[in-house]
């Protein structure tokens, strides 16, 4: 909706991929609605996924023994995180909606996107005990995981060879987003695009565009174990 801000965190190496097309469809559809859309194209940015000493500018809080969590928390309070992290935190801070667009790797997100989570969502910025889950510091934001799979829908059904795909969403949606207070919209999953016809891939893009048209009317999922494991 006009004035709404969206950040798309996108992890795919090939712009012509289905993930690339899904990202482009989201940018076009949301801009058409009057939203302002920012894309963090992690591979194109050569985003650093590793959580290291380099994420802290200047002196360490404790130079005797390096503790990444403590050091980034202290650096956040001092304004001493590395510029690439600060840049991403600004985008998150401004966004009403975060869309994560990626291919599923080993039941999870690609390393470059996991590294984005590890480095950007630091204590003090995204959470600060007891301010986590419903009182996480990023409350009033929405998120949505949009991804492609290698296996078919049947293989990801309850009792299928991979079992229910919702199980995999628990660490991503609950352990990261909900932990930081972010509300979670139902995931958008394109099953096995490599094994379907060109026609069906076009259908997938049309379905995503259609969903985006009414996205702001959607209710977030119930953030409880029941949603994932019932």
**What pLDDT was estimated at residue 2?**
74
Q: Residue 152 pLDDT > 90, yes or no?
A: no
Residue 182 belongs to a domain with what CATH number? 3.40.50.360
> What's the pTM value of the predicted model, to 2 decimals?
0.97
Q: Residue 1 pLDDT > 80, yes or no?
A: no
Name the more confident of 150 and 2.
150
**What pLDDT was estimated at residue 162?**
87
* pLDDT (average), residues 90-109: 98
**What pLDDT was estimated at residue 49?**
98
Q: Residue 203 pLDDT > 80, yes or no?
A: yes
Q: Is 92 exposed, middle or buried (0-12, 13-18, 19+ CB in 10 A)?
A: buried
Q: How many CB atoms lie within 10 A of CB 81?
A: 26
Q: What is the residue whose two structure tokens read 């299928």?
A: 160
| Ranges 1-5, 56-60, 172-176: which has the least confidence | 1-5
Average pLDDT, the chain: 96
Number of domains making up the chain: 1
Query: Where in the sequence is the domain holding 71, given as residue range(s)?
Result: 5-229
**What pLDDT was estimated at residue 155?**
81
> Tens of pLDDT along 65-95?
999 999 999 999 999 999 999 999 999 999 9
């Amino acid at each position: 909706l006009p004035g709404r801000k969206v950040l798309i965190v996108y992890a795919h190496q090939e712009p012509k991929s289905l993930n690339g097309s899904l990202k482009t469809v989201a940018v076009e559809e949301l801009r058409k609605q009057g939203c302002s859309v920012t894309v963090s194209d992690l591979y194109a940015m050569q985003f650093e996924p590793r959580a290291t000493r380099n994420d802290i500018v200047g002196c360490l809080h404790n130079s005797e023994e390096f503790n990444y969590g403590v050091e980034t928390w202290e650096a956040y309070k001092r304004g001493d995180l590395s510029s690439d992290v600060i840049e991403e935190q600004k985008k998150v801070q401004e966004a009403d909606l975060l869309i994560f667009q990626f291919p599923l790797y080993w039941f999870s997100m690609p390393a470059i996107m996991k590294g984005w989570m590890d480095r950007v969502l630091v204590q003090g910025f995204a959470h600060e005990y007891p301010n986590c889950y419903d009182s996480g510091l990023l409350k009033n934001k929405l998120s949505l995981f949009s991804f492609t799979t290698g296996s078919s829908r049947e293989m990801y059904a309850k009792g299928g060879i991979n079992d229910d795909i919702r199980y995999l969403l628990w660490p991503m949606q609950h352990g990261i987003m909900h932990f930081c207070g972010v509300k979670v919209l139902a995931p958008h999953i394109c099953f096995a695009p490599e094994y379907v016809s060109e026609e069906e891939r076009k259908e997938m893009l049309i379905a995503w565009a259609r969903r985006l048209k009414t996205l702001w009317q959607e209710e977030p999922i119930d953030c409880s174990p029941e949603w994932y494991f019932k």
